[in-house]
Amino acid sequence: MDIVAVDGLVKRYGEVLALDRFDLHIAEGEIFGLLGPNGSGKTTAINCILQLLSYDRGDIRLFGEDMAPARYDLKRRIGIVPQQVAVLEELTVRENIDFFCSLYVADRSRRRALVDEAIAFVGLEDYTRFRPKKLSGGLLRRLNIACGIAHKPELIFFDEPTVAVDPQSRSAILEGIKGLRDEGATVVYTSHYMEEVEQICSRIMIMDGGRVLAQGTNDELKRMVAVGERIVAEAAQVPSVVLDRLRAYPHVLDATFDAGVLTIRCEPSEHNLTDVLGVLGASRVRLGRVYAEPPTLNDVFLELTGRELRD
């Protein structure tokens, strides 16, 4: 059974089509990634699923049941970690977690244990009496997460939880999400950071302009594109005649030189690196570091839309 089943969802803001026949199916225990640039419709889709937004058309089923604004029985099984830090400034860390948990769990004694567990999960034990204003950006993000997961939801939506977070906190957040999955939760994770999505998601959907461009596992998505390999070389100077010579090679899709970095995207082939180095050596281009890497989700997005994911 799909934990989340969305079919033909359409959402308009006046003339703007925010979601265009959006479909989404997520199985139990998955970490499902929604990847797309800002304004692609990720947050709108989540808000529609959670009934925060009304929508024009479509069916939304959660846990096998129709979702509606008054389905508080379903809402109590869901956790949400919004994109913006959404906590009460006047309450302390513990009071905030307890308050948001109380909107799902009425029993105080049970809640006390859940709050303690959430505090330990995000590592805020030393800050329980602090008010949000006293916390750093990373600690605030952790509090934001604790408020969303304290009631042990079966389905958790993380909407870009790592925006403006330092690398250390980001790593801790991603590990935490994997921990939640291991405990049995199903996770929907939205981001425009492809590395994060690649790192933790079992399946990924790429969105743009309110439409689904592609979905599948990380490998499945990368197999959809022509790029098989990307060769990157640091060089002081690469004449345009050399770039033309590289582009003329059979497996080379594109060659660009920008800010001392030469990037060559190639189709899958066994001798790409050897061939490229041969051309560069013959042209007497002085090279620094040279490496080859498999295609990224950005390559997938680039091929699907003709522009970079972060444009």
Partner 1 sequence: MLSTFRATIRMLLRTPSALVWGLAFPIILATMFVFMFSGFRTAESINAVPVAVVADDAWNTSTFSQVMDALAEGEEPLLSCIEVADEGSALELLSTGEVDGVFMVDGSAVTGNATAALDGPNPVLALPRLVVASEDSAAHGGANGGYEVNRSILVSIANSYAQSEALIDDLAASNSAALADPEAVARALSLDARTERVSLTRSTPDETVRFYYALMGMATLFAAQLSMLAVASIRPTASAVSARRCIAGTSRIRQLAGALLGSWLLSFAFLTVAFAYIRLVVGIDFQGREALCILGVAVGAWLATGIGAIVGSLPLQGGVSAGSGILTGLTCGLAIFAGLYGQPTMELADAIARAVPLSTWVNPAKLICDLFYSLYYYESLAPYLARLAACAAWGVAFFAFAAPMFRRQRYAHL
Give the SS3 label for residue 238.
coil
CA distance 107 to 282: 75
Size of the site for partner 1 (CB under 8 A): 35
Q: For residues 142 and 222, which CB has a smaller minimum distance to partner 1 in the complex?
A: 142
From candidates 10, 20, 21, 76, binder to partner 1 by CB under 8 A: 76
In the chain, the amino acid numbered 81 is: V
Q: How far is the CB of 239 from partner 1 (least distance, A)?
A: 47
Q: For residues 69 and 239, which CB has a smaller minimum distance to partner 1 in the complex?
A: 69
Cβ-based neighbour number of residue 93 at 10 Å: 28
3-state secondary structure labels for all residues of 43-107: HHHHHHHCCCCCCCEEEEEECCEECCCCCHHHHCCEEEECCCCCCCCCCCHHHHHHHHHHCCCCC
- Using CB atoms within 10 A of its CB, is residue 74 exposed (0-12), middle (13-18) or buried (19+)? buried
Q: How far is the CB of 182 from partner 1 (least distance, A)?
A: 24
CA distance 151 to 34: 24
Q: For residues 16 and 226, which CB has a smaller minimum distance to partner 1 in the complex?
A: 16
Binders in 29-68 for partner 1, by CB under 8 A: 43-44, 47, 50-54
Angle between helices 137-149 and 93-102 (to 10 degrees): 30
Q: How far is the CB of 104 from partner 1 (least distance, A)?
A: 4
Q: How far is the CB of 275 from partner 1 (least distance, A)?
A: 48
Binders in 129-188 for partner 1, by CB under 8 A: 147, 151
Give the SS3 label for residue 226.
coil
Q: Is residue 226 a contact point for partner 1 (CB under 8 A)?
A: no
Q: Is residue 88 a contact point for partner 1 (CB under 8 A)?
A: yes
Pairing state between β 211-216 and 229-235: unpaired
Length of the chain: 311
- For 110-145, give one letter per residue: b (16+ CB within 10 A) or e: ebeebbeebbebbebeebeeebbeebeebbbbbbbb
CA distance 174 to 178: 6
Q: How far is the CB of 304 from partner 1 (least distance, A)?
A: 23
Stretch in the footprint of partner 1 (CB under 8 A) among 19-27, 99-107, 269-277, 289-297: 99-107
Q: How far is the CB of 305 from partner 1 (least distance, A)?
A: 20
137 Cβ neighbours under 8 A, 6+ residues apart: 164, 165, 166, 169
Q: How far is the CB of 54 from partner 1 (least distance, A)?
A: 6
Binders in 258-287 for partner 1, by CB under 8 A: none
Q: For residues 16 and 164, which CB has a smaller minimum distance to partner 1 in the complex?
A: 16
Q: For residues 26 and 253, which CB has a smaller minimum distance to partner 1 in the complex?
A: 26
Q: Is residue 102 a contact point for partner 1 (CB under 8 A)?
A: yes
Please report, as ranges, the residues that interact with partner 1 according to CB under 8 A.
13, 16, 18, 43-44, 47, 50-54, 70, 72, 75-76, 78, 80, 82, 84-88, 90-91, 95, 98-100, 102-104, 106, 147, 151
